[in-house]
Structure 1
Amino acid sequence: MEFFLGKTILITGATGFLAKVLLEKILRTQPNIKKIFLLIRAKDSESARQRFNNEVLEIELFRVVKEKVGGSLSLSALAEEKVFPVPGDISSGDELGIVNSHLKDQVLREVDIIINSAATTTFDERYDVAMSINTFGAFNVLKFAKKCSKVKMLVHVSTAYVCGQGSGILPERPLYLGETLNGNSYLDIEVEKKVIEEQLKELEAQKATEKEVRLAMKDLGIQRAKLHGWPNTYSFTKAMAEMLLLASKESLHLIILRPTIITSTYKEPFPGWIEGARTIDIFVLMYGKGKANFVMGDPNTILDAIPGDMVVNSILAALVHHANHEYSAPQELIYHVGSSFTNPLKANDIQKLFFRYFTDNPWSSKSGEIVKVRKPVFLTSMKGLRTYIAIHYLPILKVLKLLNMILFNYFEEKCMTVEKNINLVIRLAELYKPYLFFYGSFDDTNTERLRRATTKMNLSETLYFDPNCIKWEDYFMKTHIPGVVKYSF
């Protein structure tokens, strides 16, 4: 792609899943790129380089590019030439926490494009932490971009779920300052900032422990999100980021990508790579390991999944396309990257595939015990979940506690494990409830226009991101679930 010839890119959130897939794709397919600056949380340049080597370059994701360039030494040499880790933090002000003045000046002078993928994706993150990274961190990236002498485009990776618990066809529309999803209140981001400050002061006056502060700030985030119509802290703080960016972008070309549930790679650099348990994969872990034999949700709910490499390709396609097409209307700068509109996948279909996979490929524990799974049960309410727990979990816990008393705490660890599993299941059910009872599909008119543009530029093979090509049964049975088992179990 000629567009990347001689270009310099700054990527934030560089040690995250999506940024790693993006970096790999660029290194493997764009040899003419000039530089890639990676913003990494670290105390100095040496620590940033060490994190980059350990957490990025040495992972299996880079196996293909390593083979392409001729081994580990050649990959290291390529990285030394093209990739420059920058110690910093988007939550540390509009200079992104870059304290090395020489390095900061170099970035400000040389960068052509900024891709902001930094975020905390925990649904119930501490409100102060989520605001500092997801909302004000994104705003800091925008302010930094305005200081750069050459930057013309900023790509901000958001989430499709800024829509909250919408239903029907959800348009690629912008979010504006002050608007809420329930219409019952006015959203003032400065007020939200003061609410956080006051709560922290109050907790400090009460001499609250670190744990008490953490729990209080988590609760505050959920409360404030629900007050304005969002289901959780993550989607709420990401929505506020979009509002700030659109209100303040001025002449900067801002592109907002809204991926849905990001899953393992579909094709590149190889199928099935994933890092950590992401959303639906938490159930894969619990079910495959025999920790839970049920899923809460509506069997007809559409779970909108999209492979990570397709999200990365949509980012690159947007950059190439918008380099030659200036759009001023905000709604033309927003892209839903998902599958629900054109290739929907129901929760019931996924549940059947999980059952088939782990029946044919049962998990073996460390002790060699084979985990036999049963067909998962769908529970359609929190009441149903608590009833299920009362029937299937509590009797086991009562017996263990009784034996524990008789045998002098011999089963103490098992008791704690069962109690921990019960609490985890309830917590996860509450957090994921909005997505397991979701009745919307994401309109992708802009994204389809982008796909057509890549076809005209003869880039549809290089930058594939059409979910219609995914055969969900093959993808889950042969790619995604095996990938989760390999990389996350």
Structure 2
Amino acid sequence: MTGSVADQLDNQHILLTGVTGFVGEALLQLMLAEVPGVRLTVLVRGKGSTSGTARTASLLGKPIFADVVEAAGGVEALMASRVAVLEGDLSDPPALPTDLDAIVHCAGDVSFDPPVDEGFRTNVQGTRELLARVREAGSDIHYVHISTAYVAGRRRGSIPEGPVPQVVDLEAELAWGLSQRQEIEHRSRGTEILTAERKRAEKEHSRAGLLTAANATEEARKQWVKDELVRVGTERARSLGWTDCYTFTKALGERVVEEHARTNRVSIVRPSIIESALEKPYPGWIEGFKMMEPLILAYGRGELPEMPGAPDTTVDVVPVDHVVAAIVAVLASPPEVGDPAYFHVSSGDRNPLTFSNLYECVRGYFDEHPFQSGDRGATRLPEWRFPGAQQVERLLSTSERAFKVADYVIGHAPRSDRARDLARKLDQQGRRLEFLRRYMGLYQEYAQAELRYSDKNTLALYRSLSEEDQRTFAFDTAVVDWKVYLQDIHCPAVTAPIRRLDEVRAARRRPSATTQKALVEKPGVAAFFDMDGTLLSSNVIETYLWLRLRELSGTERFSELSRMAAKVPSLVAAERRERSAFLRSVYREYDGARLADLDAIADEFLTDHVLARLSPGAVRRIREHRAAGHQTVLITGAVRPLTRPLLPLFDHIEAAELATDDRGICTGYLASSPLVGESRAAWMESYAAEHGIDLKASFGYADSHSDLPLLAAVGNPVAVRPDVPLFRHARKARWTIVDWSSSTTSTRTLNPAGGRS
């Protein structure tokens, strides 16, 4: 190179894409800081209501730009003098400035497993659209394409800096990839997919209602589409010799660039695994999670028991500041027209980091700086033995089968604090297994890659720089001390935000789980309460016996208890299938009872018992709502006589009405369908409209998965000692969960009224 890098680029006008991404942001910062004579235009699309110009101004407000912003006199002054914004998107790029000297294309889909159509649209079609605009803008523009070293795919051995051999029909693959969303959406609406998802949803949500199950079916269909778009992209890539859809589409993008290179100046830069900065803008600078971060954090959490790679396999890592320094040097050394230049920015050929080295360095860091597991102290770190991919797969498959068995058992267990605690721990384990399955699938190819990327061209470029430029634009990866980099720079940077988040979570856990915010006095607000399991630790069968046993003699009581005990299994099965059918079965038992007598029993014998069984926490909450001027409403599947003791607490009680004949004798039927599942939500909407209630500002309290529609209908849902399915949904939806324990003075008896007088 003749002259310094800054001299070579002085007075040049360069367009950058992808500056809101990790590499693009680092490149923008380096050029503003170290190449003062360059004028930049950045292609940035608007996002929502935020324009590309506003996004760029926000970007330049970040700490890494502080020095150049201050030197320029502020963000506006910097943008006016050196950073112009071209509003647009790669899907339909705008016309480019006609005085450009060079373009660096950093933008692209960098996910390893993008939906196949998105990967093709961004990495192949987007590149083609941009290059069409480049040709319109001028004939001597140096186009620098940022690709990846992994376009080499599943090849082995030394990989030269040159074109990747391909026997692929570019146009056919592009047309196929872009058509997959429409095809898979069409397949998702076929009976094979819908029937399976509907049956699964109805089995899980039938107690809540068929509409709830229908909504769950549609969500499952959409998720199937996303998963299938990823799966078909991965399978097509591997069938052609690439590791995944990302490397496949990036390789095809290079094909598009190589066609452009026949009549234009083109350089292709291929970084390997880009991680945090070694030195600039400061050691450890990183934004977002890249390739290694999820694995490092999972290991530090004790959640990554093994790695499917061989201990001597190379993990080709390069710091981001080396990547962008190399890009600037490439910009300053344009190739001849028709002779594209290729540069690997990698470390594995001259300074290899093996999986065993990586493991030892990361373990050493966490030995000194462990994560804390709550009250149990430092997290126990797994000991990797590198048993091979097949053994790791067997271990993972065995764990997944054990999880399914445990999940079934917990899902059918009686509700209790222990069941909820086990469900919480099991859900954590399930998320870990999902993480392991996903990342093992993604990274196994990389963990077993037996290749080395030659970086002779890149090293020659580095050596052509002056000594001063070699210090300013350092990209010789042979100088990286991996132990120092990983233990003193990278791991601290990666774990710092997680440690801060852990501290925040620990602070949030300190208050009691039952603590709720004080209620605000506001008109048009209601609080809707379920009864059995929410206000009272009771159920429909139990409350039936409270009323029924009062009318019977000692012998008759024993017979009635025996008869109901024999029916419990069938009643429980009915309740799990459909709540309304269960209630109808129980209320058939009231056939022949006099409704007036039931009212009298409730008033005379059950009032004290019911009030004693009320949770003190529930009573306090009801009174808080009333003090705030909120309407209090009880919605229950219990028969109305059993709600009589609760009349003073509620403005309205909606209960099951027993049908009677003209003599007041119960027929064993209900006067109308019971309010369960979705019918509760429908009733609430009607009640709210009639009484001027704002449901979004209102509250709901319930304990059962069958009450999911009730809770979903209000803006402030509260799960009270929930069963396992509701507990899981509440945690996922971030609903409030409280534990209103029963009164310690109440007695658990099926005959609270005592003997007959």
Provide the TM-score with structure 1 as the length reference: 0.86
Residues 54-77 of structure 1: CA distance to partner in whole angstroms, max 9, x if unpaired?
3x22334334545x638xx63453
**2:10 corresponds to which of 5, 23, 26:** 5
- Equivalent residue for 2:384, pick from 370, 377, 395: 377
1:183 corresponds in structure 2 to: none
The equivalent residue for 1:200 is 181
| Residue number among 464, 471, 477 corresponding to 1:467 in the alignment | 477
Matched, 1:86 2:94: no
Contact 2:117 2:179 in 1 (8 A): no
In structure 2, which of residues 431, 452, 458 is the aligned counterpart of residue 441 of structure 1? 452
Q: Distance in 1 between matches of 2:114 and 2:187?
A: 22
How many residue pairs align between the two structures? 459
Secondary structure at the residue paired with 2:51?
helix
Provide closer, same or farther for how the CA distance between residues 417 and 86 of structure 1 changes in structure 2, counting only shifts above 3 A: farther
User: Is the 8 Å Cα contact of residues 26 and 321 (structure 2) preserved in structure 1?
Assistant: yes
Match of 1:284 among 296, 299, 302: 296
Q: Percent same amino acid at aligned positions?
A: 27
Quote the Cα distance in structure 2 between the aligned partners of 1:270 and 1:195: 44
Residues 318 and 307 of structure 1: CA distance in aligned 2, closer, same or farther (over 3 Å) = same
CA-based RMSD of the aligned residues comes to 2.6
CA pair 374-202 structure 1, distance change in 2 beyond 3 A: closer
| Superposition pairs of residues 182-193 of structure 1, within 5 angstroms | 187-193=168-174
Deviation at residue 421 of structure 1 after TM alignment: 1.4
SS of residue matched to 2:74: helix
CA distance in 1, matches of 2:131, 2:464: 27
> Which residue does 1:344 correspond to in 2?
352
Distance 2:491 2:455 in 1: 26
- CA drift at 1:443: 0.8
Instruction: Write out per-residue CA displacement over residues 93-128 of structure 1, whole angstroms, 9 at most, x where no aligned residue.
Output: xxx1x3xxxxx4xx4223221100111111111111
Once the two structures are TM-superposed, the CA of residue 137 in structure 1 deviates from its matched residue by 1.2
Are the structure 2 counterparts of residues 45 and 80 from structure 1 closer, same or farther at C-alpha, using a change threshold of 3 Å? Answer: farther
CA distance in 1 between counterparts of 2:105 and 2:27 reads: 12
Counterparts in 2 of 1:80-479, with a 5 A limit?
80-92=80-92, 96=93, 98=94, 104=95, 107-149=96-138, 151-175=140-164, 179-180=166-167, 187-206=168-187, 208=189, 209-322=221-334, 326=336, 328-330=338-340, 333-364=341-372, 370-389=377-396, 402=409, 405-408=413-416, 409-411=419-421, 412-455=423-466, 458-479=468-489
Are residues 43 and 87 of structure 1, via their aligned partners in 2, closer, same or farther at CA, if it must alter by over 3 Å? farther
Q: Deviations over 1:349-397 (max 9, x none)?
A: 01011111011011247x6874423243144444322433467777688
Give the Cα separation in 1 of the matches to 2:79 and 2:65. Answer: 11
Distance 1:207 1:433, change over 3 A: closer
Call closer, same or farther: CA 1:375–1:43 in 2, change over 3 Å: closer
- More RCO (CA 8 Å, sep 6+): 1
Flag the 1:487–1:268 CA change in 2: closer, same or farther, 3 A: farther
* Structure 1 segments unaligned to the other structure (5+ residues): 99-103, 181-186
Q: What does residue range 36-51 of structure 1 map to in structure 2 within 5 Å?
A: 36-42=40-46, 47-51=51-55
Q: Alpha-carbon deviations, 1:391-450, whole Å to 9, x = none?
A: 777768866765662444513333222112102201210111111011111111111211
CA distance, structure 1, for counterparts of residue 400 and residue 368 of structure 2: 26
Does the CA contact (< 8 Å) of 1:159 and 1:258 recur in 2?
yes
Distance 1:356 1:49 in 2: 45
Q: CA offsets per residue over residues 213-240 of structure 1, 9 Å max, x none?
A: 2222211211211221111000000000
Given that residues 237 and 248 in structure 2 are in contact (C-alpha distance below 8 angstroms), is that contact kept between their aligned partners in structure 1?
Answer: yes
Q: Which residue of 1 aligns with 2:540?
A: none
Q: Deviations over 1:81-102 (max 9, x none)?
A: 322233222123xxx1x3xxxx
The aligned counterpart of 2:37 is 32
Q: Distance in 1 between matches of 2:327 and 2:498?
A: 26
Q: Within 2, Cα distance between the matches of 1:290 and 1:476? A: 18
Q: Which residue of 1 aligns with 2:751?
A: none
Taking structure 2 as the reference length, the TM-score comes to: 0.57
Q: Which runs of 5+ in 2 are unaligned?
A: 1-5, 190-220, 500-757
